Amino acid sequence: DVKVTQSSRYLVKRTGEKVFLECVQDMDHENMFWYRQDPGLGLRLIYFSYDVKMKEKGDIPEGYSVSREKKERFSLILESASTNQTSMYLCASSPPGTGRDTIYFGEGSWLTVV
């Protein structure tokens, strides 16, 4: 069964802390994504990776970075967490190509920055 796993479901961090959100997929997918979801705003793309060590900025990359050292793992990094980064973060993966196949999501990571 297809699986995208986000290891941390609920986190509370302090302003200024460095935060790592980890995502692992077991489907050998080339594409991986990080979204954030806020009430009334839907999902917004933060970063996208189409191969190991490759990344592209999405719509809202400011304040975030990513790392993809292995095909199955895609990490989102908040260099210095701020309260406006309190949100639900969703990782996803999909096969290669240009969006012709279903995308699979993890269960989400709820981050609260205090």
Residue spans of alpha helices (H) in the chain? none
- In the complex, least distance from residue 91 CB atom to another protein, rounded to whole angstroms: 8
Contact mark string toward another protein, 6..45, x via CB under 8 A: -------------------------x---x----xxxxxx
> Closest distance between another protein and the C-beta of residue 67, in Å?
19
Please name the amino acid found at residue 57.
K
As a whole number of angstroms, the distance between CA 8 and CA 109 comes to 6
Query: Which of 58, 63 has the CB closer to another protein?
Result: 58
Residue 81: phi and psi, rounded to 5, are -60, 140
Give the Cα separation of 92 and 104 in Å (integer).
5
Q: CA angle 26-27-31, nearest 5°?
A: 110
Asked if 87 touches another protein (CB under 8 A), the answer is no
Q: Which is nearer to another protein, 10 or 84 (CB)?
A: 10
Minimum CB distance to another protein smaller for 77 or for 88: 88
Which residue matches tokens 């990344």?
Answer: 55
**Interface ranges with another protein (CB under 8 A):** 4, 31, 35, 40-45, 48, 50, 58, 90, 92, 98-108, 110
